[in-house]
Amino acid sequence: MEDLESWVALVADPESARFIGGVQPPYGAWRSLVAMAGSWSLMGYGMFSVIEKDSGVWIGRVGPWQPVGWPGPEVGWGIRRSAWGKGYAREAAAASLDWVFGALGWERVVHVIHPDNARSRALAGRLGSRKIGPARLPPPFAGEPAELWGQDAAEWTARRDL
């Protein structure tokens, strides 16, 4: 619960929240934080909190996620705007990919990205993922445009060994 205030700030900022479900009031932020904690309890995985080392400030969440009806096992990211462009999302996403392919034994991973989200599309490419095609999302996101990016464990491992 110590992350709640910063989580509220993440989803209250229109730019930070634009592609991760949109602006949410504090009770919506609470629900999404509790859902993530529940994912850890019930599924054995969920997104990790990203804490800036120098300041100790919570700056976002990155990691595995697969809600019911989702187009695949995802490694996703959401970082506060104040921390954009510093490499935190890339570092955390790479560590998450290592973990899901290693510890969890996932065979493939996807990233669900809005076509207008140039920053996330670029990050997915830097991680070695490729655009697979359009994604179909479950309610309440059905009808929202989304692209599916991804790669398999062998592709990630080969890339990491370079």
Strands (E), the chain: 48-51, 58-65, 74-79, 108-113, 130-134, 147-152
End-to-end CA distance of the chain: 39
pLDDT at 14: 76
User: Is 128 in contact with 155 (CB distance < 8 Å)?
Assistant: yes
pTM, 2 dp: 0.90
CA atoms of 18 and 138, how far apart (whole Å): 18
pLDDT at 19: 67
Model pLDDT for residues 99-142, shown as the tens digit of each residue = 999 999 999 999 999 999 999 999 999 999 999 999 999 998 89
Could you give the number of structural domains in the chain? Answer: 1
Q: What is the CATH number of the domain that holds 19?
A: 3.40.630.30
Give me the amino acid identity at 148: L
Q: 40 is in which domain, residue-wise?
A: 4-160
Contacts of 66 (CB under 8 A, 6+ apart): 43, 72, 73, 74
pLDDT at 161: 66
CA atoms of 134 and 127, how far apart (whole Å): 19
10-residue mean pLDDT profile of the chain (162 residues): values are 81 77 84 91 95 92 94 95 94 97 97 96 97 94 93 93 60
Across the strands, what pairs with 150? 110, 130
pLDDT at 162: 54
Burial of 92 (0-12, 13-18, 19+ CB in 10 A): buried
